[in-house]
Structures are given as C-alpha cells and as structure tokens.
Amino acid sequence: MADKILKKLNIVVWRQKDAKSKGRFETYAIENISQGSSFLEMLDILNNNLIEKGIEPIAFDHDCREGICGMCSLYINGHPHGPDTEVTTCQLHMRKFDEGDTITIEPWRSRAFPVIKDLIVNRSAFDQILQAGGYVSVNTGGVPDGNAIPVSHEDAEEAMDAAACIGCGTCVAACKNSSAMLFVSAKVSHLAKLPQGQVEAKNRARRMVAKMDELGFGGCTNTGACEAECPKSISISNIARLNREYLSARFSE
C-alpha cells in the first residue's frame, strides 16, 4: 500500500540569525509530502523550496540519521523529538502527521544550551560535564582478554542500559527546571556498575554534579518528564544511583 501524500502542511519554525540576535517564529507552507518521508527529509525539502525562493534555509543539526548520534535536537509540537515515543527526530516519520496540520518546531530551551542559529543550540555543556569526571583511567596497549575482569550479568545489563544514553539533551529540554540529572546519572551509572569505573568512583559524581551546577542546569524535582521523553528510555532509577554515588563521595572527603 502506497504512502499517503500530505498535500499541505504549515510549518511554524523558530528563526534566529545568531546567538546575539532576537529570534522569531516564521510560518512556511509545504506541499506534497509523503508520509513515508522522515521528518528531516521533510525539512530538507522545505529548505530546497526556500533556497529556490531566495530565502535562507533553516539551520538544524543532524549527522547519522540512524538514531545514535543525538544531534537532531528539535522540539516539535511540544515534545522533544516530536510526538512519537522512543525515537530521535531523524527516526520520526511524517505518518505521525495529518493533512493540513500545523507543525511547530523550536530549538531546545535551556540557559545551558544557548541558541547558535535557528534550531541549532550549543550543547558543549555536556562535553564539559563528561570532561569533569565521565571517564576511566586505563593502561593502553594490547586488547585484554574478554574474561580478564569478571562482571555479573545483572551489572553488565544495567551498565549497558545506562550507556545507551546518546547525550541528545532531551532530558534537559523536557524538564521544567532544565535539569541534566538524567544525562549525568546515566554517565555515572554505566561506569559505577563496572569494575573499570572504580578508580575515579570517589570523585566522579562529585565533580560531574559540581560542573552541572556551575553550567546553569536546574535541579531535579522527579516529575519523570525526562524518562518519558527520552528516546533511549533511560530510567530515572539512575538518578537514585547518582545521588548515592554523590553522597558516598562527600562522606569520604
């Protein structure tokens, strides 16, 4: 069965020349979009139309278009990554929209994620948090034997679940406080559950939380919006582990 063609859509998009300029919403009409198209393909078509009319194309982030890089950070109709669940923007398809719909697209809204241009925000704050403690110290060299350090199945599964975080910033965008606790807790958890992560364990959580606060992210009030919107279904149970790791680090000072 052929995909339905959406004859007309209204796209309301945030336009902002640069970080210092005042932004505004602009509305564009787009026609004959297949519901089999991805959301980013729709934006590509829209940009081609704008270029043909002599209008500057809409700037938006993307890279892998396979749901693993975390670059495609768009706030669509009131939801990070749009109305579908457990998908990134690049995995969102136009079948989630109907003929004549108005689609509102915004960048992530957070003081810690300043707008660079249009829908692109600066998420280097996440990189700074990782540099503060989201790493392990290992000796480089040959590849070690896979069974050299035994890890229980349960710990390995929990570590891998936490490591699924792609750092897209959905949790920050969804949170009313712009908290980065889900991101930080995922990065702390996947190292805390493995023997290789124990070298920096006493300082990791303390340093990462301190950097998070320094960069202007808000506090967590456990509304659960971060978990509900996360494209990788990262559990807020990781936040409890982060709190335990943080308190343990403080008490050991």
Per-block mean pLDDT, blocks of 10 residues, the chain (253 long):
89 96 97 96 98 98 91 95 96 96 96 96 97 86 77 94 97 97 97 90 93 96 96 97 91 73
pTM of the entire predicted model: 0.93
Rounded-to-integer distance, Cα 191 and Cα 87, Å? 25
Do the beta carbons of residue 48 and residue 65 sit within 8 Å? no
Rounded-to-integer distance, Cα 69 and Cα 58, Å? 20
Q: 234 and 132 in one domain?
A: yes
pLDDT of residue 1: 61
Q: 128 and 101 in one domain?
A: no
What's the structural domain count of the chain? Answer: 2
Do the beta carbons of residue 124 and residue 130 sit within 8 Å? no
Q: What is the pLDDT of residues 26-60, one digit of tens each?
A: 999 999 999 999 999 999 999 999 999 999 999 99
Rounded-to-integer distance, Cα 51 and Cα 47, Å? 6
- How do 79-80 and 75-76 pair as beta strands? antiparallel
Structure-token pair, residue 202: 């006493």
Q: 176 and 112 in one domain?
A: no
Rounded-to-integer distance, Cα 63 and Cα 60, Å? 10
131: domain CATH number is: 1.10.1060.10
112: domain CATH number is: 3.10.20.30
